[in-house]
A = this chain, B = another copy of it.
Amino acid sequence: MARRGPTNAAQASAPTSVDVARLAGVSPATISLVLNGRASKVRISDETRDRVIAAAAQLGYTPNHAARSLRQRRTNIITFVLPTLDNPYFSDVVRAAQTAAQQHGYAVSVIPAKTMPGEFHALSFLQGAAFDGIIVAGRENCTAAELRQLAARGVAVVVLQEHSPDSAIQSVSVDLEAGGYMATRHLIDLGHRRIAHVTEKLHEPGTRRDRLDGYCRALEEAGLTFDPSLVLTAENTMAGGSNATEQLLDLGALRPTAAFMYNDQMAVGALHALRVRGLRVPDDFAVVGFDGVAIGQFTAPTLTTIDHPREELGRLAIEALITAFEKRPADMREHLLPVKLVVRESCGGGKTSPPKARRRAQAK
C-alpha cells in the first residue's frame, strides 16, 4: 500500500475540453455537443462543428473518463468477474458478450477474482459504480450476500451458471442438470455400470441443481445405485482431474469403468492419468467431459463432451444487463439454455466419422 507520489501525469498533461474550446474559439459546452454527436440536432453550425473537430484532433483530445462518468452517472463499461482466466470456456463467453455490448455502446472488461481469495468485497470499486453493470461467473468469487448488497446499491448484476440470489438479479445459465443427465446416460447406454463423477471442490456449496443432480437422475432411472465413493471432488484444473482419476483407479475391484468429469479441462487430466496408468480409452475406461471447448477436439483420444452455447450465454448476459439498465421489467429472471451431447472418441460408441472430416467441419 505504498502510496508515494500520486503524480499520474495522465490528466496533468492531457488536454481538456476547455483547451479545445479555447483553440476553437467556442465554449466547452459546444465541444461536448459536437463530440457527442448531439450537434446534428439542428444546433451547431457546420462551420463551428468542423472547427471543433479540427481543434480536438489537433490537440489529441479525449474526454476524461472520470469526469464524464461522474457527470453522466454511467461509465459505459460492463465488467465480467471471472474465477480465473485459464479456462477457455469464458473466452468464448466474453467474446460474444463483447460483441453484443459494443452494439449497445458498452465496452467490456474482465476481472479475475479468484486470485484474491475471498476478497470480492475488496474490489470496492465494483460498488463504487466504476462499472455500469457486472456479470458474475462462478460461485467462488463472492457470496450471495455480497451480490445482494451490490444489487441493493443499484448496481446492475447478472449471475452466470447460478440461481439468482435476489429478485433484482437476473441469471443466465445452461442446463447443467440436463447436461449431467445426458453425460451419464450416454455412458449407461454404452453399457457402463460403475460410473464415477469428478466435480469441482467448492468452498461455498452452490444453490443450483447441477451436474451431480443429472448424474443421480440418470443412475436412478437406470436402476443403478448411487455410490458415494465414486463421486470425487478435485481442484478445477487439469492436474486436479488427473489426480482424482488416479484415486479412482486406486479403487481396485470397485474401480469404475467410466468417469463423467466436471469440465473438459479436468477431462484432459483424466485422459492423461489413464494413459500414465496404461489404460486404453475408451476400451478400458470411458471419459465424458463438459463444456465443449476447443481442446476436446485435439486430445488423444478426442473427447466426448456436453457442449454449451457459450456465445449465446455471453450475449444473453449482456442483454439481461441492458434491460436492467433501462429499468425495463425483465421478461425472464432466470434464463436457461440447452446443452447437447457431442460424441467423439473418448467413450467409444457413436458413429465414428473420420476425425479429419469432423475436425474440419467444427473448425469452421
Contact = CB atoms under 8 A, between A and B. Distances in A.
A11 to B, nearest CB: 5
A241 to B, nearest CB: 9
A75 B11 CA distance: 11
A123 B105 contact: no
B85 A110 contact: yes
Contact of A110 (B105, B112, B124, B294): B112
Contacts of A299: 272, 299-300
A66 B69 contact: yes
A98 B86 contact: no
Interface string A53-83: 0000000101111111110111111010000
A201 interface: no
B355 A3 contact: no
A99 interface: yes
Contacts of A10: 73, 129, 132, 153-156
A66 B65 CA distance: 8
A130 B11 contact: no
Given A9-B154, A325-B8, A355 B276 contact: yes
A127 to B, nearest CB: 4
A349 B71 CA distance: 65
Given A5-B326, A8-B325, A102-B116, A66 B129 contact: yes
B84 A86 contact: no
Nearest to A298: B272
B111 A109 contact: yes
A36 B64 CA distance: 24
A122 to B, nearest CB: 8
Contacts of A297: 238-239, 272
B298 A269 contact: yes
B154 A12 contact: yes
Contacts of A108: 111-112
Given A64-B129, A66-B130, A295-B268, A11 B154 contact: yes
A128 interface: yes
A91 B99 contact: no
A88 interface: yes
A155 B14 CA distance: 9
A6 B91 contact: no
B11 A129 contact: yes
B112 A62 contact: no
Nearest to A70: B66
A27 to B, nearest CB: 21
Interface in A131-172: 132, 149, 152-156
A84 B91 contact: yes
Contacts of A153: 10, 13-14, 60, 62
Given A14-B153, A67-B70, 17 more contacts: A2-B104, A2-B105, A4-B326, A6-B73, A6-B74, A7-B326, A8-B325, A10-B155, A62-B127, A63-B128, A66-B67, A85-B91, A110-B111, A110-B112, A239-B297, A242-B359, A243-B363
